[in-house]
Amino acid sequence: MKIRGRLLWSVLFPALVLAATSEQREYTQVMAATPDAEHGAVLFQRCVVCHGADGGGQVSGSVPRIAGQHFSVIARQIVEFRGGRHWDMRMEGVAKDHGTFSSAQDIADVASYVNGLERDGKRGIGFGDRVDLGRRIYEGRCASCHGANGEGDARREIPRLSGQHAAYLSRQIYDAVDGRRPALSASHGRRLKPLTFDGVLGVADYLSRIGWQQDAPVGE
């Protein structure tokens, strides 16, 4: 079995390296482009059916909030969907659609437009009974990278998590632990694997409420 596994790895490894190299090359091209947000707005019309005209996604968590996300993060996510290193059938189809993204310039244009969208609007939050637990876990395990207020880091391609739908965040935590986000570093799985069910819900609920006002529209 070990020999068989080694043979399989020896066959797959060159293809994985080639894919990663190609992905990095495309991402470098995106980051070197001069974004045209107006053209990005035109291209984004093909994304509205899922993400909404405001980029707010779905409060159910089936589609994430992307409005106001860092340019570098949106660009990286699109490239990873195109390269098969971020898994979602809907997004993989759109990202690989040359009618939407025919070039690195198109990716840069859409990323710029999305980054400029207002971050107001509905967000899906949890029940509120695990927020304190979630805050403690987040501060101890996540804040050092994602920021004290879940603001992320554009330079380091670390996504903004504050205001994201709670159900979406919960799903991403489990995906990271189960290896369904191959582009994520192994440290994500190690940090998140010890969390209990309550801990996962707590972290997601805590992050979804950052920047939230009591009179703001909330998903049901």
pTM: 0.84
**Residue 129 and residue 95: Cα distance in Å, rounded?**
38
Does residue 96 share a domain with residue 33?
yes
How far is CA 211 from each of CA 6, 54, 214, rounded to the nearest angstrom? Answer: 49, 17, 10
Listed in sequence order, the residues at least 6 apart from 200 whose beta carbon sits closer than 8 Å to its beta carbon are: 170, 173, 174, 192
Domain boundary among 57, 90, 115: 115
Domain that holds residue 150: 131-209
Does residue 21 share a domain with residue 70?
yes
**Residue 146 and residue 149: Cα distance in Å, rounded?**
8
Render each residue's pLDDT in the chain as its tens digit; 220 residues.
445 555 544 544 554 444 568 888 999 999 999 999 999 999 999 999 999 999 999 999 999 999 999 999 999 999 988 877 777 767 777 767 767 788 999 999 999 999 999 887 788 999 999 999 999 999 999 999 999 999 999 999 999 999 999 999 999 999 889 888 877 888 888 889 999 999 999 999 999 999 875 544 555 4
CATH of the domain at 34: 1.10.760.10
**Residue 202 and residue 126: Cα distance in Å, rounded?**
8
